[in-house]
Structure 1
Amino acid sequence: MNAPLRDKSYFDQRATQDMAKHLQSAERSIQETMAYACRILAMTEQEAGLAGQISFRSKREGAYWTLRFGLGFDEATPEDFIEVDRDLNTLSGEGMANPATRFHLWVYDARPDVNSIIHTHSPWASALAAARQPLVISQMDMTPLHNDCAFLGEWPGVPIADQEGVIISKALGNKRSIILAHHGYLTAGASCEEATYLSVYLERAARMQIRAQAFGPLTPVNDELAAEAHDYLLKPSIVKATFDYWARQTHGVPSLAVK
């Protein structure tokens, strides 16, 4: 005799409890986490010279941590992160911030829930940006971005002044990612791990969209099911376990090993 079908919420609750018990994330300093994030971005081929940026909200008001300017993602070590104030004066560490990280300040001001920002000119997301195409959520692996990826249709120029920060933060709104036309993308996470997770999946989603379009128009995933998948795949335990896996992968490539 077949057992009665149980509601999906039962399995969701059970999986959540099991993950809390068995998926224990690694303990790292924020500088170590940011170094791993940079190496993960490099491993997933998201570098574009010195255009990529990563930051983390500091405990000091109006300040943030970022990779010192002049280094690529693949070179980052925990010692290479500096703390800067609202005028990009260096408060901790040695070196200067990428001047284009100034717009991060505006996102942090507008979004108290955001603690980390990643911005890159990655190949596939930049291709969507060049074509001025918003993301279409048409496959399960895209669903962490469902109703969570904004689109800015005009390029405000190199974001080294305040006005670009106003425009980008307003366009981002309450979402965790955005495609910037003629530019690249940005992800904004509650943690560095979440911002990195969204970055990797956004680049994959862009690649999938461009490839799938060769076969015809895209069909969006059912809205209700996509929303359910979004929330499930963004569970902190899944995000952090995935980040830890990618971090272990960087150790498998000698040139990417964090020093």
Structure 2
Amino acid sequence: MAKTLTHSKEQLVRQALTQMQGSLADNTWSVREKLALTCRILFEHGHDSGLAGQISARGPQPGTFYTQQLGLGFDEICASNLLLVNEDLEVLEGQGMPNPANRFHSWVYRARPDVNCIIHTHPTHVAALSMLEVPLQVSHMDLCPLYEDCAFLAAWPGVPVGNEEGEIISQALGDKRAILLSHHGQLSTGTSVEQACVYAQLIERAARLQLLAMSAGTVKPISPELGREAHDWIDRPKRHAAAFAYYARQSLRGHADCLN
């Protein structure tokens, strides 16, 4: 005999969250390994655009962060070839140099103490949408972690190698988790590497769906109340960790070397 068919939605949500806490395992990879996995995951999901884009995570000391070295593609990043740099992009550990565009990461980290990982890429559908100078429209349940959580920078400030671009981008991001940058790409953040990776995956899918929907008609908005409800339901550390682990399992089938 079923016991939950008369439960309220609130009761069922609480029950599910309790089950998630006990059933979904935490990831045990190091920060370096998570970053390497993120590079390979995003490479496999359309975020590759040559040497463009940077992925970083806070380092062991304040004012430091890990990132990839300039000259390597996302599919070549390993835990062992990541760099540890300071806010001036001076290399503290590793060989080579970081992408000079990493400068704006320092500005975001300074403005947002809650951010521990930054992913900036130029995936195809995000880049195409950015050329239209229109904001991201979150109008599908799966994309709701981005609901009211994706900022928009309408004016392109140029290549982000100066401090001016760091100020502009960090201010435009505000307290949001992600931002669509006109004529440029996307930036996703997270309190964890897992969360940032999931957001980066979502924003590219959202851009693709928006372009498809716009080609067929007018995108219809969802109810703000339900959008916020779905945002909070999906945007959970345990769910992000589980999603990241799934993407990692996919990626490791062809990229096992990234954990070297």
TM-score > 0.5 by shorter chain: yes
Alignment RMSD (CA, Å): 1.6
Q: How far apart are residue 11 of structure 1 and its match?
A: 1.1
Identity score, percent: 45
Aligned residue for 1:27, secondary structure, equals coil
In structure 2, the residue matched to 1:222 is 223
In structure 1, the residue matched to 2:139 is 138
Cα distance in structure 1, aligned partners of 2:67 and 2:172? 23
Contact 2:180 / 2:186 at 8 angstroms: preserved in 1? yes
In structure 1, the residue matched to 2:238 is 237
Cα distance in structure 2, aligned partners of 1:4 and 1:192? 37
1:113 maps to a residue whose letter is D
Task: Note closer, same or farther for the CA distance 1:200–1:6 as it changes in structure 2 (3 Å cut).
Answer: same
In structure 2, the residue matched to 1:171 is 172
1:164 maps to a residue whose letter is E
Cα distance in structure 2, aligned partners of 1:254 and 1:81? 16
Return the TM-score normalized by structure 1: 0.96
Aligned residue for 2:20, secondary structure, equals helix
Contact 2:155 / 2:182 at 8 angstroms: preserved in 1? yes
Stretches of structure 2 lacking an aligned partner (at least 5 in a row):
none
Cα distance in structure 2, aligned partners of 1:59 and 1:49? 29
Cα distance in structure 1, aligned partners of 2:99 and 2:223? 41
Q: How far apart are residue 231 of structure 1 and its match?
A: 0.9
Cα distance in structure 2, aligned partners of 1:197 and 1:155? 25
Contact 2:147 / 2:231 at 8 angstroms: preserved in 1? yes
Contact 1:43 / 1:256 at 8 angstroms: preserved in 2? no
Cα distance in structure 2, aligned partners of 1:206 and 1:20? 31
Task: Note closer, same or farther for the CA distance 1:111–1:184 as it changes in structure 2 (3 Å cut).
Answer: same
In structure 2, the residue matched to 1:85 is 86
Stretches of structure 1 lacking an aligned partner (at least 5 in a row):
none
Return the TM-score normalized by structure 2: 0.96
Q: How far apart are residue 18 of structure 1 and its match?
A: 0.7
Q: Deviations over 1:199-232 (max 9, x none)?
A: 0011000000000112211111111111011111
In structure 2, the residue matched to 1:247 is 248
2:209 maps to a residue whose letter is M
Which range moves more in the overlay, 24-33 or 176-185? 24-33
In structure 2, the residue matched to 1:161 is 162
